[in-house]
Amino acid sequence: MGRALEILKGVVAIGALFLLGALIKIDIRERFLHMREVVQRTGMSRGTIYNKIHAGTFPKQIPIGANFVVWLASDVQKWMQEQIDKGRG
């Protein structure tokens, strides 16, 4: 009975994680990118990234602390793919 209860607890915990992911509308496997990673992936400078954000042509950052922002990796990847698609017309 003890082992079955442990398995059931694990199943419930996994189900709760999936439910939480659905409630907050983000894939729990999503990854945050710091500015240095966004700069590295896009090849753009910090200033260019912020200029594009203000122009509405780059994904907005997500504040997660008093002086700390991140981007969703999927948002940056989607933006990069859009640029490739536009360039290849």
- The pLDDT tens digits along the chain (89 residues) read 666 656 545 545 555 555 555 555 666 678 999 999 999 999 999 999 999 999 999 999 999 999 999 999 999 999 999 999 999 98
Statement to judge: residues 52 and 82 lie in one domain: yes
Q: How far is CA 1 from CA 6, 7, 40, in A?
A: 9, 10, 52
Statement to judge: residues 36 and 14 lie in one domain: no
Residue 70 φ/ψ, nearest 5 degrees: -140, 170
The answer to pTM > 0.85 is no
pLDDT (tens digit per residue) in 7-28: 545 545 555 555 555 555 666 6
Statement to judge: residues 86 and 55 lie in one domain: yes
Statement to judge: residues 82 and 72 lie in one domain: yes
Q: For residues 28 and 63, is the Cβ–Cβ distance under 8 A?
A: no
Q: Structural domain of residue 18, as residue ranges?
A: 1-29
Statement to judge: residues 36 and 75 lie in one domain: yes
71: DSSP letter:
E
Number of domains in the chain: 2
Q: Write down the residue that tokens 């990847």 correspond to.
A: 77
Statement to judge: residues 25 and 66 lie in one domain: no
Statement to judge: residues 35 and 19 lie in one domain: no
CA dihedral sign of residues 14, 26, 48, 86: positive
